[in-house]
A = this chain, B = another copy of it.
Amino acid sequence: MADVTVPQAAPAPDLSVRIGSATLRAPVIAASGCYNKGDEFGRLTDVGRYGAITLKSITRYPRLGNDMPRLAMTPAGLLNAIGLQGPGLDHFLHHVAPALQDVPTAVIASAAGFSVDEFVTVAAALDGLPNVVAIELDVSCPNVEREGRCFAADAASLAQVVAAVKQRVRLPVIPKLMPNVTDIRPIARAAQDAGADAISLINAVRGLVIDVERAQPVLANAAGGLTGPAIRPIAVHAVWEAAQVVTIPIIGMGGIAEGTDALEFLFAGATAVAIGTANFRRPDVHLRVLEAIEREMFRRGCRRVGELTGLANPGFAGPRPAAGL
């Protein structure tokens, strides 16, 4: 009744981001191949606060994967050659997919394939599974030998896959680009032009480690994919360049291990980030990164996390949300 000024609590920061038609509750995602459905991390973190978890890439047919060893430590990095091990699409749909409804956050399903048809078949089957809000296309896995180049290695074949998948899938489609290309820009641009709703980058960088004692590669597969902080400058650069030529959201990843690392990606032009390798060391890394992002929003007076996107990149081509709204 009396005219009292009630001190207003600052409105909670808005951490949500949009990836095509999907809205994620936060801009921090578990990267493909490092998380299964998240059960194993259950007690060690709080998956419910993640923006999404990305499933390990699913192939049309079952794959036993590569021989052992599949992993090697490198300076500030990890080299892996798992070889897309997985149950194949049918087994996945029957035995794994039903449990997706128990995942406490959004799920991004990842499709991998060795032909356009395989991609379309797998992606179409994943469209509409419980909790799945988007389909990532692993067009870049460097571990698997294909005749000729990977799909992500040239703009034309990438565009072909993306366009074909888009025709059959209603959920947002997110091709995941690989860093082993001469110029990421035409590839990123081709993805957008073919209808991609967002792009993920980067996948692992090709590498090889030799066991000098045995005079043999450490990995049974010889070459593998390099991940972890060692590749972070390469990944930030890729996001920086892609963000100057596409207007769709970018999911940045590669070597994020703490909050400032994630901010580098956002400032370079990513809308969200994903974390893979660092989970192996710190199962709660996603939460730490989320908190660092919140602190940065507070420090800069941002209400929506999207205001951080592209902040350091003068050529950022994406939409810049008006600050402070």
Q: Taking beta carbons and an 8 Å cutoff, which residues of A are in contact with B?
A: 74-77, 79, 149, 153-154, 180-183, 205-210, 212, 215-217, 222-224, 226, 228-234, 236-237, 240, 255, 260, 263-264, 267-268, 296, 311-312
Contacts and interface: CB of A to CB of B under 8 A. Distances in A.
Contacts of A237: 206-208, 223
A313 to B, nearest CB: 9
A233 B207 CA distance: 5
B75 A208 contact: no
A218 to B, nearest CB: 10
Q: How many copies does the complex hold?
A: 2
A311 B215 contact: yes
Contacts of A209: 232-233, 236, 264
8 contacts: A74-B232, A149-B182, A149-B183, A153-B183, A205-B234, A207-B234, A209-B264, A210-B312
Nearest to A261: B212
B236 A226 contact: no
A229 B75 contact: yes
Contacts of A236: 207-210
Given A75-B76, A226-B233, A230-B231, 17 more contacts: A75-B230, A75-B232, A75-B255, A76-B76, A149-B182, A180-B182, A181-B182, A205-B234, A206-B234, A208-B236, A208-B240, A209-B236, A210-B268, A217-B312, A222-B240, A224-B233, A230-B230
Interface SS majority for chain A = mixed
A224 to B, nearest CB: 8
Contacts of A232: 74-75, 209
Nearest to A226: B233
Contacts of A234: 205-207, 226
A181 B179 CA distance: 9
Contacts of A216: 312
A177 B231 CA distance: 20
